[in-house]
Homo-oligomer: A and B are copies of this chain.
Amino acid sequence: MSQAFRLKQSIEDAVIAGEFLPGDRLDEASLAERFGVSRTPIREALLQLGAEGFIDVRPRRGAIVSVPSPTRLFEMFETMAEIESACGRLAARRLTPDNDAAMETAHRACEIAAREGDSEQYYADNRNFHEAIYRASRNSFLADQAFALHKRLSAYRRIQLRARNRLLQSLQEHAGILEAIRAGDEQLAATRLHDHVLVQGERFSDMVLGLAGDRRSDAAGRSAK
């Protein structure tokens, strides 16, 4: 299985790196050739990625990189917001000096990247900051769920950090989140994290749908009774 697990990671990395775009076909034979192995471990890797929701494996019809509908995507961001805010709530309740320090370090890194307007760097540092919060929840299972979803959304998250404004705004939100967690204010930490994440989903939906469709009729509109 060693091979299959390495392949799973490689394929996942390739997808995250944007080498395979949503909708692209993941052909067993070509992947086998590319990695110099037979189809068997490739299949095993693809099926695992499919089970994790990373790709879409349709019986007899091959695997493709999942193409979540705008609605689905919004739902994923909304779920991410709920999970992250849960992490924040627990972090506020359970913060240890170690976790505090880890968040501080990650936050400082974000600060530098934001000041320099380096969105690629900020993207990486931002990830570390959020992961520090997941860990600070001191619930490793919840943190695992958060990691997994974060990875699945990374392709969509990256796009919107391009604007310099968003970088600085994001940084400010981070500061507010950190403050709330440190104050032990569970409710505030949860709310701030929720909004911080959800705004990304909203901005992304706006971007995807552009002027054409109104997102509200798609996802948020469901709030209406």
Chain A residues at the B interface, C-beta cutoff of 8 Å? 1-2, 4-5, 40, 43-44, 47-52, 57, 59-60, 72, 75-76, 78-79, 82-83, 86, 90, 93-96, 138-142, 145, 222-225
Select A86's contact among B47, B82, B94, B138, beta carbons within 8 Å: B82
Cβ–Cβ < 8 Å partners of A138 in chain B: 222
Bound CA span A60–B3, Å: 11
Q: Is B139 a contact partner of A78 (Cβ separation < 8 A)?
A: yes
Q: Which residue of B lies closest to A2 (CB)?
A: B59
Bound CA span A51–B45, Å: 10
Q: Is A141 a contact partner of B75 (Cβ separation < 8 A)?
A: yes
Can you report 24 A-B residue pairs in the complex whose CB atoms are below 8 A from each other?
A1-B59, A1-B60, A4-B47, A40-B40, A44-B47, A48-B51, A49-B51, A51-B52, A52-B52, A75-B140, A78-B90, A78-B141, A79-B86, A79-B141, A79-B142, A79-B145, A82-B86, A83-B86, A93-B223, A94-B222, A94-B223, A94-B225, A95-B225, A96-B225
Cβ–Cβ < 8 Å partners of A225 in chain B: 94-96
Bound CA span A50–B224, Å: 39
**Copies of this polypeptide in the complex:** 2
Q: Is A2 a contact partner of B60 (Cβ separation < 8 A)?
A: yes
Bound CA span A145–B86, Å: 15
Bound CA span A198–B51, Å: 27
| A-B contacts besides A48-B48, A75-B139, A79-B142, 15 pairs, CB < 8 Å | A1-B47, A1-B59, A49-B51, A52-B52, A72-B140, A75-B140, A75-B141, A76-B141, A79-B139, A79-B145, A82-B83, A86-B86, A94-B224, A138-B222, A145-B145
Q: Is A142 a contact partner of B1 (Cβ separation < 8 A)?
A: no
Cβ–Cβ < 8 Å partners of A140 in chain B: 72, 75
Bound CA span A201–B79, Å: 22
Q: Is A142 a contact partner of B75 (Cβ separation < 8 A)?
A: yes
CB distance from A25 to the nearest CB of B (A): 15
